[in-house]
Amino acid sequence: MKSVTVVGSGIVGLTSAISLQEAGFRVRMVAKERFDRTLSNKVGAIWFPFEIHPKEKTNHWPTLAYTRYEREIQEGNGVAFIPFITAYTPESNIDWTSQLSDGKVRKARPEELPKGMQMAFISEVPLAEPHLYLPHLFERFITNGGNFEKRELASLKEMAGLDSWVINCTGLGAKTLCNDDDLHPMRGQILRCEKMDIPSFADPTKRGALSYVINRSEDLIIGGTDYENDWNEREDPADTTLILNRLAQSSSSKTPGLLEVIVGLRPRRSAVRFEFDPVFSTVFHNYGHGGAGFTVAWGCAMELADLLVKRQKH
């Protein structure tokens, strides 16, 4: 049994590690922080192909992940399928709709649209609540024989020496480790609120004015922001006001009860880096998933496991 080390413990790292275990590899995980201190633990975690490229892969990976989430549903692990309204314009990439089976997606009727929304799809999509799903995945990884080591790596060279194969799932951390000028933050601020009787939706049609609502089992996530090259991880009261004002423009509901303001930096790239390193041949890069980590993680992980199985045979 060949050993593999996965670097990073967010949703991309955890799904990669479990997929490799399922393919028969012995897997260790090394990360600067545990899963509960990663970006993945801060997000709404709805299946939503947002700001991720290349197009041909971002049609394939979400489809694989969608099917995997159907098998992931377990009592108490945070995975469920919910109705979700997604706005689009004539210029939007709506290829994802053709990947869903009949009955899973349709065009919204005018009376179903939030205020101000012109066109949208309604689809049944996976939701994976991070505070439940991430510990569930981590426990599975450990139960499957995995080991976790909390350790900060200083360089790509140090990473390459960890194992016969190393999977780089360090997200935005790869910017420094890999000297990756293409990788940059897309700042997101969201509000965790008390539950309300409003539909879940996303409106990504206006650059710099991303708006969404995600109903979860015990709370409501309202977003958001999508500020490029913004490294500010502190709460901005002006953004909180902006998010609440956008909600008021799209819904007749009362102002939600605010529980928490959360800020995270999405790892944005012109295209997901999904390849072996050209210099350090033991390292496979799997980072730069933008705002779609939970949407594509399983798809990337499953393709990665298949790739390494084939490599092992040759």
Q: Determine the average pLDDT of the residues in 8-35.
A: 98
Contacts of 255 (CB under 8 A, 6+ apart): 244, 248
User: Whole-angstrom Cα distance, residue 133 to residue 252?
Assistant: 32
| Confidence category of residue 50, pLDDT binned at 50, 70, 90 | low
| Confidence category of residue 61, pLDDT binned at 50, 70, 90 | very high
How many Cα neighbours within 13 Å face the side chain of 63? Answer: 13
pLDDT at residue 116 above 70? yes
Burial category of 115 from C-beta neighbours within 10 Å (exposed 0-12, middle 13-18, buried 19 and up): exposed
- Residue 303's domain is classified under what CATH number? 3.40.50.720
313 vs 147, higher pLDDT: 147
Q: What angle do CA 244, 246, 249 make, to 5 degrees?
A: 110
pLDDT at residue 207 above 80? no
State which residues form the domain around 206: 3-313
For 102, the token pair is: 């009949």
pLDDT value, residue 194: 96
234, 263 contact by CB (below 8 A)? yes
pLDDT at residue 235 above 80? yes
The count of structural domains within the chain is 1
Least confident of 50-59, 71-80, 178-187: 50-59
pTM of the model: 0.94
- Whole-number average pLDDT of the chain: 93
Instruction: Compute CA distances 30 → 74, 136, 200, 224, whole Å.
Output: 27, 18, 35, 31
Proportion of the chain above pLDDT 70, given as a percent: 99
φ and ψ at residue 216, rounded to 5 degrees: -115, 180
φ and ψ at residue 69, rounded to 5 degrees: -60, -30
69, 47 contact by CB (below 8 A)? yes
pLDDT at residue 272 above 80? yes
pLDDT value, residue 13: 98
| Confidence category of residue 204, pLDDT binned at 50, 70, 90 | confident
pLDDT value, residue 178: 97
pLDDT value, residue 180: 98
54 vs 203, higher pLDDT: 203
pLDDT at residue 175 above 90? yes
Least confident of 18-22, 191-195, 206-210, 221-225: 206-210
Q: Determine the average pLDDT of the residues in 78-90.
A: 95
pLDDT value, residue 47: 94
pLDDT at residue 275 above 70? yes
